Amino acid sequence: MRRVRRALVLAAVSAAARTPAFIIPVLIATVFGASSTTDAYFVAYSAVLFLGGTLAQGLEQAVVPFAAKELHARPGRARAYLDRAAFLTGKASSVVWLVGVPLFALAVGAGLRNAVLGFAVLFTPLALGWCVASVYSGGLVSQWKIATATGSLLWRGLGALMGACLIPLGAGLSAVAVGLGMGELTRAWWLRSRLFAIASPADTGAVESVRPLALAAGAQIAASAAIAVAPVVERMLAVRLGPGAVSHLEYGARLLIIPGVLFDGALAPLLLAHWTEVLTKAKSVPSPRAVLWIVARGLGLATACGGLLALTASPLVHVLLGHGRFGVADEVAVASLLRVLCIGFLATMSALLLERFYLAAVRNRVLAVLSVLRATVRLATVILFLPSLGLLAFGVGYAVADWLYLISLVVLLRPAEVTVAPAPTPEARNT
């Protein structure tokens, strides 16, 4: 019962933190509808997710076992270690952003290119700040400060809402992009202060090399890149379906956040912290059967959440999006796509939980290889069915790829080896 309460509390914190960011697409749909302007905004935001989010999410997941090791085995040097990791992450993300954005713009149609580039410039603080914040967020998860890490997303959402308040004054979507960036920079500063508040004072000893972390993060970033590239390419393919198609795809995908909060914001980080602790105790290692039993229970929960979302797709889309310039045809398109996306949602959430065991066991290379295959299957399926199914092809590709990915994770599961990092202390387990 205690575990259930903890999961529900974390889900509530995550939901509250993500609420402002969730409201933004609703406001955009109401004020701007689905047009070439919103298409350019969402395509540029896809660049943030692909270039910035890939680095950030990969590092945030990979840093957990390394942060646990530093904060307990070398507590006096952990601050310098994490700051060095954050600094190098900032440098790497700057290079990736400066090189990637122009290349990304070249792949966009000429009609949207200038608008996409303009939004990309405004999104720069968001992309870079997200990468730096990931180091400190992962460090907090390693100390069971999961609510602090997930709740920090509120800063980003509040920044976006502040920008949205300027829309009636003629600022347009540009204000939202700037607000997101300012909120993310504040989030990075706040995460660092929270983590260092529970870390030991710094000493003058030598700092451990970040190379092992870089290698593990590199593999996880490759996995994240493979996952992130698929939505980016999909939005470029959606441009072929006419104005508004990219926005319909974006709105449908965003609605999956509602049931996904429980998994992404609570169950997944809890399992990552739990399995990291188990594997660093050097006393017991969970068997594949025990791991799969937990994942099976997650699949049951995902089925209930996904089924409810599919059944209520039409009224939900109408209540959330059916306002202002978002018409009936838009509602039908998004609701139909959402029902198909729910099929893949079951596999995605189950795989998300199972991935936490691979991460705790530092089997990042396996995730990288499987993620490349996952993205390849997804895009190939979309391209195959796009002429006949139109917008629904994106849901079919998503479902086929993620179910095959889940099956592969199950097949390749094996007992993990115990790592060298010590277990977190009981005092650090407060969420």
Average pLDDT for the chain = 83
Residue 101 has pLDDT above 50, yes or no: yes
Task: Give one DSSP letter per residue of 102-169, joined into a string.
Answer: HHHHHTS-HHHHHHHHHHHHHTHHHHHHHHHHHHHHHHHHHTT-HHHHHHTHHHHHHHHHHHHTTGGG
pLDDT at 420: 43
Q: How confident is the model at residue 261 (pLDDT cuts 50, 70, 90)?
A: confident
What does the pLDDT look like over 367-397, one tens digit per residue? 889 999 999 999 999 999 999 999 999 999 9
Burial 188-204 (b: 16+ CB within 10 A, else e): bebbbebbbeebeeeee
In sequence order, the 6+-apart residues with CB closer than 8 A to the CB of 243 are: 34, 35, 36, 39
pLDDT at 300: 94
- Provide Rg for the chain, Cα atoms: 21
User: How many whole angstroms separate alpha carbon 44 and alpha carbon 38?
Assistant: 10
Residue 27 has pLDDT above 80, yes or no: no
Q: How confident is the model at residue 421 (pLDDT cuts 50, 70, 90)?
A: very low
pLDDT at 207: 67
What does the pLDDT look like over 290-299, one tens digit per residue? 899 999 999 9
User: How many whole angstroms separate alpha carbon 381 and alpha carbon 377?
Assistant: 6
**Coil, helix or strand at residue 229:** helix
Residue extents of the structural domains in the chain: 2-429
Query: With DSSP H G I counted as helix, E B as strand and the rest as coil, what are the percentages for the chain, rounded to 5?
Result: 85, 0, 15
Among 20-24, 284-288, 345-349, where is mean pLDDT lowest?
20-24
Instruction: Retrieve residue 296's tokens.
Output: 């099976």
CB 159 within 8 A of CB 186: yes
Most confident of 6-10, 12-16, 172-176: 172-176
CB 145 within 8 A of CB 68: no
pLDDT at 286: 76
Instruction: Retrieve residue 76's tokens.
Output: 């006096």
Q: Looking up tokens 């701007």, which residue turns up?
A: 32
CB 64 within 8 A of CB 138: yes
